[in-house]
Structure 1
Amino acid sequence: MILQNPVYAALTGPHASFAEVRGNARRYPSAVAPFLALPDSPTEQDWSDAAELVGPGTVVALMRPDFPLPDTFKLDRRMDLVQFVAPASLPAAEPEAVVLGIDDVPDMLGLVALTDPGPFRSRTIELGTYLGIRRDGELIAMAGTRFALPGHTEISAVCTHPSYQGQGLASRLIRAVAAHITAAGRTPFLHTGGTNTNAIRLYRGLGFELSNEMKVTIVEPV
């Protein structure tokens, strides 16, 4: 199932143009996202190619169900991840949302630094459409699309400035991003940390259904 190996499905599918490639190993450019991808059942050669592709001293993340790590990589840390698929009723327009562009990246990086919604780098905005809400010129909330898979697009970077939390801004932006995804004939899905109870409560409240329990494994070539 492609949702169990979303980064590989993206980098061998709709996001193939972003892929740095060696053999069957794929990765996003480091300024775009920190993710490495391998086939569902990687061979010894696949891991060797991955080590060459990543290079020494570089830390990358794998997002997939748990797996044994070969001697060619060392484990930095491993975290629980849960994946949810959106209900058909989710999409809704949001009049206050604006499309964010390259000129907004400094503000987006500032908001990410305050809220830590997950990896967001200087070129992450190239992966899809990002929407934001501004008040008095300040970016106070955003959400967008990251991994594009066959038939599915991931909602990501959902975050709200601490001073504006509790106002439903995240829910409104999630619905608005979902509307962009479904308009393209795709199904929205997303990930969050397995211990992030607030986010899980939010997503379940919006009708998202659990699709996979996974791991984010942070590794570095030996």
Structure 2
Amino acid sequence: MVTPLDNPFWSALDSIHGGIALRAGDVARYPADYAPFLGVATGEIRVGDALDRLVAPGESVYLLGIAPALPAGWQLKAFRPLAQMVCDAPLAPMDGPEIVPLGDAQRADVLALTALVYPHYFRARTMDMGRYFGIYRDGRLAAMIGERLGSDDHREMSAICTHPDFNGHGYARQLTTWLTNDTLAHGRQPFLHVSYENPRAQGLYERLGYRVRRDIGFWSLRRAEAASRPGTEAKA
């Protein structure tokens, strides 16, 4: 039985993010300034017309959990599966600096930090997908965490990152512990995704109390560039 966690992009776009989803039937995506993610309801649906409407020529998007069969003109590249981890019980609280909400007033700080240490999937409006929190030290955003994907019963811990100048203080552990416990207190299961190329991070989450639920497939999907129309070839 497929659960929302087995198809995270689609589950979020079909529930908590339905208001921002760009949708064509059983295919949906985030606007590019939110996230480069696309989801499909199942792997069996015909997606050609929907993809043509949702993805521009030459554009790349990402799929997680489920990938459909594709028509000609599309390139699907498989990455190594990610570890999908969940937390089932509250974590031992940690002391540390004040944790503050991050909003529009802190957006420039967030974008600067993510551009430095979390650059691949964070966009100008990713913060609008959920709640974000951070720790400031000496007037600088030292570390942050946020919510990104989710459904009625789940929330993803995301953008867990620390500025290199503030490594070694336990800020990522403090933030992850705090938001995990807050999520559980609201009756939702926390989950996250981590690359197996980042064993340090996976080890941190395991020590905190997360467990690997499953390996989950991860792909990039690229639409071919539009073919030139007859008579429009460049002249030498």
TM-score (normalised: structure 2): 0.86
> Are the counterparts in 2 of residues 31 and 123 from structure 1 also a CA contact under 8 Å?
yes
Write the mapping of 1:133-212 to structure 2, written as runs, cut at 5 A: 133-212=135-214
Check the 8 A contact 2:101/2:134 in 1, yes or no: yes
* Alpha-carbon distance between aligned partners in 2 of 1:57 and 1:178, rounded to the nearest angstrom: 38
- In the superposition, relative to structure 1, how do residues 13 and 63 fare at CA in structure 2: closer, same or farther (>3 Å)? same
Kept in 2: contact 1:80–1:195 (CA 8 A):
no
Q: Is the contact between residue 115 and residue 161 of structure 1 (CA under 8 Å) also seen in structure 2?
A: yes
Cα offsets for 1:181-209 (capped at 9, x unmatched): 22321110000112211111111111111
Distance 1:178 1:83, change over 3 A: same
Which amino acid letter does the alignment assign opposite residue 180 of structure 1? D
Cα separation, partners in 2 of 1:28 and 1:91, compared to 1, 3 Å: farther
Tell me: CA distance 1:146–1:21, structure 2 relative to 1, closer, same or farther (3 Å): same
Provide the C-alpha distance between the structure 2 equivalents of 1:56 and 1:117, rounded to a whole number of angstroms.
23
Deviation at 1:15, TM superposition (A): 1.4
**How far did 1:180 drift?**
2.9
Which residues in structure 2 correspond to 1:1-222 (within 5 Å)? 1-44=3-46, 46-64=47-65, 69-75=70-76, 78-90=79-91, 92=93, 96-116=98-118, 118-222=120-224
What does residue 228 of structure 2 align with? Answer: none
SS in 2 for 1:17: coil
SS of residue paired to 1:8: helix
Distance verdict in 2 for CA 1:66–1:100, change over 3 Å = same
Runs of 5+ consecutive residues of structure 2 not aligned to the other structure: 225-236
Q: What is the aligned residue count?
A: 221
The residue identity in structure 2 corresponding to 1:37 is G
Residue 3 of structure 1: how far off its partner (Å):
0.7
3-state SS, counterpart of residue 140 of structure 1: strand
Percent of residue pairs bearing the same amino acid type: 37
Structure 1 distance, partners of 2:79, 2:202, is 19
Which amino acid letter does the alignment assign opposite residue 75 of structure 1?
A: L
| Displacement of 1:118 | 4.7
Which moved further from structure 2: 64-73 or 28-37?
64-73
The question of whether the paired residues in 2 share the 8 Å contact of 1:47 and 1:72 is answered with no
CA 1:12 to 1:136, structure 2 compared with 1: closer, same or farther past 3 Å? Answer: same
- Find the residue that maps to 2:217 and give its secondary structure: strand
Structure with the largest fraction of helix? 1
Cα distance in 1, alignment partners of residues 93 and 149 from structure 2: 21
Deviation at 1:97, TM superposition (A): 0.6
Question: For residues 38 and 4 of structure 1, what CA distance do their matches in structure 2 show?
Answer: 12
Q: Which runs of 5+ in 1 are unaligned?
A: none
Q: Which amino acid aligns with 1:96?
A: E
CA distance in 2, matches of 1:3, 1:206: 21
What is the Cα-based RMSD across aligned positions, in Å? 2.0
Q: What letter corresponds to residue 71 of structure 1 in structure 2?
A: A
SS where residue 16 of structure 1 aligns? Answer: coil
Question: Is the 1:20–1:26 contact (alpha carbons within 8 Å) kept by the matching residues of 2?
Answer: yes
Conserved 8 A contact 1:143-1:158: yes
- CA drift of 1:177 comes to 1.4
Q: Is the 8 A contact 2:45 2:68 kept in 1?
A: no
Larger radius of gyration: 2
* Deviation for aligned residue 1:115: 1.2
